[in-house]
């Protein structure tokens, strides 16, 4: 695994009359961890969906290592090296933890034995190996979050998109996930972009933060710069989260 550079250039998505994302541009260098934050409904998941191919942008371009990927089908974008987790954790019901991760691994390793070997190795790294034969839906929330990350990693991405993987976790569980992601990034050079409301995790992981509000980028900088940025403080006024 190694990281790919992500570039968004003036990316726009409208849903009928609604400007969900408007001319958003930013770069995540290869091997970096950046965060995408903003209030509810700001357009963060829509940005992920454009990177991952769920939606084609109405304007602008998404590039992975300089190659335009926007508008391609999700499976081709996965082939190109984009892995993602979903905000609502939805493992394949009726399948075990191992089978869930093997489905992801089959994307690169069409032979079942090899895919299972790769899935087992990922489960071991995420501390889920002992639970590999359990049904995925029987896992606790923190374990289901880890399963989401395992499924995305099994596709051997160069860019990992994490959509609120810390939500609902206790502070100690957040610290475990932060430690895992930091180690993964340092060891493999995987590029990571995370949507996150848990500021403890953003501060600990992200070299840079992009802030969106009402579909537009309003600020970009290090976590320290962002936490002092007046426009950011203004949009978070009245929000539960504190920067």
Spatial CA neighbour of 83 closest among 167, 186, 6: 6
Nearer to ligand ATP, 180 or 214 (CB): 214
Nearer to ligand ATP, 45 or 155 (CB): 45
Nearer to ligand ATP, 8 or 20 (CB): 20
Window of 12-20, 68-76, 139-147, 168-176 that interacts with ligand ATP by CB under 6 A: 12-20
When asked if residue 230 is in the footprint of ligand ATP (CB under 6 A), the reply is: no
**Angle, helix 171-188 to helix 141-154, in steps of 10 degrees:** 10
Beta carbons of 166 and 198 less than 8 angstroms apart: yes
Nearer to ligand ATP, 69 or 212 (CB): 212
Q: Could you tell me the smallest distance in angstroms from the CB atom of residue 198 to ligand ATP?
A: 12
Interacting positions 81-140 with ligand ATP (CB under 6 A): 87
Q: Could you tell me the smallest distance in angstroms from the CB atom of residue 234 to ligand ATP?
A: 17
- Residue 67 CA to its chain's centroid (Å): 20
Beta carbons of 53 and 69 less than 8 angstroms apart: yes
Residues 166 and 203: their CA atoms lie apart, in Å, by: 13
Interacting positions 30-59 with ligand ATP (CB under 6 A): 38, 40-46
Q: Could you tell me the smallest distance in angstroms from the CB atom of residue 58 to ligand ATP?
A: 13
Backbone angles phi, psi at 127, to 5 degrees: 75, 25
Spatial CA neighbour of 25 closest among 45, 10, 12: 10
Q: Could you tell me the smallest distance in angstroms from the CB atom of residue 40 to ligand ATP?
A: 4
Q: Could you tell me the smallest distance in angstroms from the CB atom of residue 194 to ligand ATP?
A: 12
List contacts with ligand ATP (CB under 6 A).
Answer: 15, 18, 20, 38, 40-46, 87
């Amino acid at each position: 695994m190694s990281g790919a550079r992500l570039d968004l250039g003036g990316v726009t998505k409208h849903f009928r009359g609604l400007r969900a994302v408007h001319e958003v541009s930013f770069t995540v260098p290869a091997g970096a961890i950046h965060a995408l934050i903003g209030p509810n409904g700001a357009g963060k998941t829509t940005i992920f969906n454009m990177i991952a191919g769920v939606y084609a942008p109405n304007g602008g371009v998404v590039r992975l290592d300089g190659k335009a990927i926007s508008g391609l089908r999700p499976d081709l974008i996965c082939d190109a090296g984009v892995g993602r987790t979903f905000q609502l954790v939805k493992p394949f019901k009726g399948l075990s933890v191992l089978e869930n991760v093997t489905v992801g691994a089959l994307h690169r390793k069409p032979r079942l034995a090899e895919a299972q070997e790769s899935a087992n190795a990922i489960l071991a790294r995420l501390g889920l190996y002992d639970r590999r034969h359990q049904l995925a839906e029987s896992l606790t929330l923190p374990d289901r979050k880890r399963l989401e990350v395992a499924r995305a990693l099994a596709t051997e991405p160069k860019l990992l998109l994490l959509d609120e993987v810390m939500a609902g976790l206790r502070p100690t569980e957040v610290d475990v996930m932060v430690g895992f992601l930091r180690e993964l990034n340092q060891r493999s050079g995987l590029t990571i972009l995370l949507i996150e409301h848990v500021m403890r995790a953003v501060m600990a992981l992200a070299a840079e933060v992009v802030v969106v509000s009402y579909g537009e980028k309003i600020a970009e900088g290090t976590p320290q710069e962002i936490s002092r940025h007046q426009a950011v403080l203004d949009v978070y006024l009245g929000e539960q989260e504190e920067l």
